[in-house]
């Protein structure tokens, strides 16, 4: 069985003081070793957050990275730098990066490879727009997003990776995919990868993201191919995030 994972993506929110208070509450409440907890603050706060985590049950992740290893890339942050400041995870291909910063699937695949090369666990974000879902194109869009990474990095790279299905129409909108919609797309993703390697696909953790709240988390996380959540807005409220983590943990298996 797969361990559940709950990751908080803070996006471009917070301040030193606000983050410190949030982290303090999360660290004090998240003690379970059965379920993985990750928080992803903005780059500028990563190291300070890592110090506060003190090597406990909560892991550190970044929201993005540069596809290049080093050099003349003003304003960018490399995989090695993320590792150096204590990150274990990094989001790649978040829909906001794809939509607002022009990241296409080949670039996302290179970022996935860069993360992997330094021992970070990439959290590959996938998802369709509302018009694409309504046109019945969810599988072709999400399938192509996965295929780009498999082509460049190989199926073996998914042995150390996490996938997050985040339908764009559900992000920050309050409109959540139904548990059945999430399950259906998660099963499709797993099946697509199983064609390459059944064992790796069976062990892969696939998170759902998009308006997850304490009130709906359990109903989504209980679905057989949903292995936890990638949480945006609700991860900025300690009580809400802790309740979402507890929902995942209540369904968790040891090991
Ligand atoms: P919300 O939970 O705010 O919908 O955001 C989801 C998300 O984008 C997490 O990466």
Ligand 1: centre distance to CA 15 (Å): 19
- Quick one: which of 68, 154, 165, 169 has its CA closest to 123? 165
User: Percent of the chain, pLDDT > 70?
Assistant: 99
DSSP state of 236: G
List helix spans (H) across 46-121. 46-53, 79-84, 95-100, 105-117
If you take atom 1 of ligand 1, which residue's CA is the nearest one?
232
* Long-range pairs of 10-19 with CB within 8 A, sequence gap ≥ 24: 10/39, 10/40, 10/41, 10/42, 10/63, 10/235, 10/236, 11/42, 11/63, 11/96, 11/232, 12/42, 13/42, 13/236, 14/41, 14/42, 14/45, 14/236, 16/45, 16/48, 19/45, 19/48, 19/49
**Angle separating helix axes 179-194 and 138-153, nearest 10 degrees:** 40
Ligand 1: centre distance to CA 209 (Å): 6
Indicate the CATH number of 5-232 among 3.30.930.10, 3.10.20.740, 1.20.200.10, 3.20.20.70: 3.20.20.70
Following DSSP, what letter does each residue of 5-44 receive, concatenated?
Answer: EEEEE--S---HHHHHHHHHHHHHH---SSSEEEEE--GG
**The pLDDT value given to residue 98:** 97
Q: What confidence tens digit (pLDDT) does each residue in 185-221 have?
A: 999 999 999 999 999 999 999 999 999 999 999 999 9
Ligand 1 atom having least distance to the Cα of 125? 10
Strand residues in 177-236 grouped as ranges (E): 205-209, 228-231
Q: Which two tokens stand for residue 215?
A: 């009130």
Q: Do residues 210 and 177 make contact, with C-beta atoms less than 8 angstroms apart?
A: yes
Integer Cα distance of 199 and 23 in angstroms:
36
**The pLDDT value given to residue 254:** 53
Q: Is the CB of 233 under 6 A from ligand 1?
A: yes
- Counting ligand 1 atoms within 8 A of each CB, the residue from 124, 126, 172, 229 with the most, and so the one to mutate, is 172
Domain extent listing, the chain: 5-232
- Which residues are CB-neighbours of 159 under 8 A, at least 6 positions away? 200, 203
Ligand 1 atom having least distance to the Cα of 233? 3
Residue 1 has pLDDT above 90, yes or no: no
**The pLDDT value given to residue 190:** 98
Q: Do residues 75 and 65 make contact, with C-beta atoms less than 8 angstroms apart?
A: no
pTM (2 d.p.): 0.97
Q: What confidence tens digit (pLDDT) does each residue in 139-190 have?
A: 999 999 999 999 999 999 999 999 999 999 999 998 999 999 999 999 999 9
Catalytic residue among 96, 166, 186, 240: 166
Q: What confidence tens digit (pLDDT) does each residue in 78-112 have?
A: 999 999 999 999 999 999 999 999 999 999 999 99
């Amino acid at each position: 069985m797969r361990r559940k994972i709950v990751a908080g993506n803070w996006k471009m929110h917070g301040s030193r003081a606000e983050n410190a208070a949030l982290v303090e509450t999360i660290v004090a409440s998240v003690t379970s070793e059965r379920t993985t907890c990750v928080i992803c603050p903005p780059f500028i706060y990563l190291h300070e957050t890592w110090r506060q985590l003190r090597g406990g049950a909560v892991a550190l992740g970044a929201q993005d990275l540069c596809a290049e290893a080093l050099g003349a890339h003003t304003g960018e942050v490399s995989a090695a730098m993320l590792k150096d400041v204590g990150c274990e995870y990094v989001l790649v291909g978040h829909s906001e990066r794809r939509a607002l910063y022009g990241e296409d699937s080949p670039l996302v695949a290179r970022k996935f490879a860069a993360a992997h090369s330094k021992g970070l666990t990439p959290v590959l974000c996938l998802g369709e727009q509302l018009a694409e879902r309504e046109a019945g194109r969810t599988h072709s869009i999400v399938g192509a997003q996965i295929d780009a990474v498999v082509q460049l990095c190989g199926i073996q790279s998914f042995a150390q990776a996490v996938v997050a299905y985040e339908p764009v129409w559900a992000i920050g909108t309050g409109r959540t995919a139904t548990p059945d919609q999430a399950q259906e797309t998660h099963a499709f993703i797993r099946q697509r990868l199983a064609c390459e390697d059944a064992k790796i696909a069976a062990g892969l953790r696939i998170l759902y993201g998009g308006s997850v709240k304490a009130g709906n988390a359990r109903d989504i996380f209980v679905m057989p191919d949903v292995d936890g959540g990638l949480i945006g807005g609700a991860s900025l409220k300690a009580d809400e995030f802790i309740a979402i983590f507890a929902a995942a943990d209540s369904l968790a298996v040891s090991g």
